């Protein structure tokens, strides 16, 4: 049987999923690549993987999308690692550089600027080294592990998960397990069990991860990242997709 080709986000918040998969009986049946979120999306669009933990903003670009797991990278409020950093308050910001690692977070930034913060800065697709542009009235959206410690470096930090919750009173889903065609239900059941196992063994996982200075990894997994794709997150996901899809609409099939 061919291996299932999987692309998953390479960030710290995905480690429980990876831990669960590699300690499961599926380990020999998958071919896993770890990528930045935007590359996960590109691989799914190109058809070079069967399944991806991909930014949800890609869904309206797919002719069909199948949500095949009960788990996601979500948050109920403050996410901690998806933030806009600035030296000035947002009301004074003229430019926001948008992290090239991101898809969902870029789309969310645009929504929040227009509908929640009511600001109209220039939004600039960023390139390597854009973090150095955070000076004066320039801000930047930064996501993932590179954000760790930045809250101590900049006086103004705007957490996108927290802002979305304040605006909509809903959780946010940054990435979900998406396929472009139905996958074997029996395999997917085992896949979900593996993900759940990884989440259940977070205390064990934390003991083998490198220590991060002034960053409580277990608290991050427990308090900032919310892994269960429950009804509230499903509602938040659809609310977000309706905004970004507009008249184009989208087809998202939930198979779990």
Q: How confident is the model at residue 28, as a pLDDT?
A: 87
Provide the pLDDT confidence category of residue 212 given band limits of 50, 70 and 90: confident
Contacts of 170 (CB under 8 A, 6+ apart): 164, 232, 235, 236, 239
Per-residue pLDDT of 223-249, as tens digits, reads: 999 999 999 999 999 999 999 998 677
Q: 67 and 181 share a domain?
A: yes
Question: In terms of pLDDT, which residue wins out, 211 or 122?
Answer: 122
Question: 168, 191, 219: which is the final residue of a domain?
Answer: 168
Q: Please state the domain count of the chain.
A: 2
Q: 163 and 241 share a domain?
A: no
Q: 161 and 86 share a domain?
A: yes
Give the residues across from 172 on adjacent strands.
75
97, 163 in Cβ contact below 8 A?
no
Helices (H), 96-181: 104-111, 160-168
Q: 190 and 115 share a domain?
A: no
Q: 163 and 195 share a domain?
A: no
Q: What would the mean pLDDT of 27-55 be, rounded to a whole number?
A: 91
Q: 34 and 106 share a domain?
A: no
Longest dimension (CA), the chain: 57
Per-residue pLDDT of 90-104, as tens digits, reads: 999 999 999 998 889
Provide the pLDDT confidence category of residue 201 given band limits of 50, 70 and 90: very high
Structural domain of 129? 82-168
5, 48 in Cβ contact below 8 A?
yes
Q: 119 and 46 share a domain?
A: no
Q: What is the CATH number of the domain that holds 143?
A: 3.40.190.10
- C-alpha distances out from residue 151 to 46, 110, 147, Å: 36, 22, 8
The C-alpha atoms of residue 148 and residue 201 are separated, in whole angstroms, by: 23
pTM here is 0.94
Question: 168, 202, 230: which is the final residue of a domain?
Answer: 168
Provide the pLDDT confidence category of residue 48 given band limits of 50, 70 and 90: very high
Q: 200 and 214 share a domain?
A: yes
The C-alpha atoms of residue 227 and residue 177 are separated, in whole angstroms, by: 11
Question: 168, 183, 198: which is the final residue of a domain?
Answer: 168
Phi, psi dihedral angles at 4 (to 5 degrees): -80, 120
Q: 140 and 182 share a domain?
A: no
End-to-end CA distance of the chain: 23
Q: Evaluate if residue 1 carries a pLDDT over 80.
A: no
Q: 97 and 146 share a domain?
A: yes
Q: 125 and 177 share a domain?
A: no
Per-residue pLDDT of 100-146, as tens digits, reads: 988 899 999 999 999 999 999 999 999 999 999 999 999 999 999 99
The C-alpha atoms of residue 184 and residue 181 are separated, in whole angstroms, by: 10
Residue indicated by tokens 């710290």: 12
Q: How confident is the model at residue 72, as a pLDDT?
A: 97
Helices (H), the chain: 15-22, 37-46, 104-111, 160-168, 185-200, 202-208, 217-219, 231-245
Q: 189 and 62 share a domain?
A: yes
74, 226 in Cβ contact below 8 A?
yes
173, 233 in Cβ contact below 8 A?
yes
For 101, the token pair is: 């690692």
Q: What would the mean pLDDT of 26-34 be, rounded to a whole number?
A: 90
**H or E element, residue 44:** helix 37-46
- Give the mean pLDDT of the chain: 94
């Amino acid at each position: 049987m061919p291996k299932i080709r999987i692309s998953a986000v390479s960030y710290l918040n995905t480690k429980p999923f990876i831990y669960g998969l590699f300690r499961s009986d599926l380990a020999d049946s998958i071919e896993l690549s770890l990528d930045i979120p935007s590359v996960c999306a590109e691989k799914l669009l190109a058809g070079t993987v069967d399944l991806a933990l991909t930014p949800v903003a890609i869904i309206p670009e797919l002719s069909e999308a199948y949500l095949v797991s009960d788990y996601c990278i979500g948050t109920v409020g403050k996410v901690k690692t998806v933030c806009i950093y600035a030296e000035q308050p947002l009301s004074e910001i003229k430019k926001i550089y948008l992290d090239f690692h991101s898809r969902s977070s870029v789309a969310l930034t645009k929504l929040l600027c227009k509908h929640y913060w009511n600001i109209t800065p220039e939004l600039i697709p960023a390139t390597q080294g854009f973090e150095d542009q955070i000076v004066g009235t320039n801000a930047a959206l930064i996501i993932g592990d590179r954000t760790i410690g930045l809250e101590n470096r900049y006086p103004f930090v705007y957490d996108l998960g927290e802002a979305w919750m304040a605006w909509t009173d809903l959780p946010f889903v940054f990435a979900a397990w998406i396929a472009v065609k139905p996958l074997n239900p029996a395999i997917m059941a085992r896949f979900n069990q593996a993900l759940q196992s990884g989440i259940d063994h977070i205390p064990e996982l934390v003991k083998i991860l490198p220590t991060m200075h002034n960053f409580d990894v277990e608290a991050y997994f427990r308090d900032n990242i919310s892994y269960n794709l429950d009804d509230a997150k499903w509602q938040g996901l659809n609310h977000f997709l309706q905004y970004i899809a507009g008249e184009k609409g989208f087809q998202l099939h939930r198979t779990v």
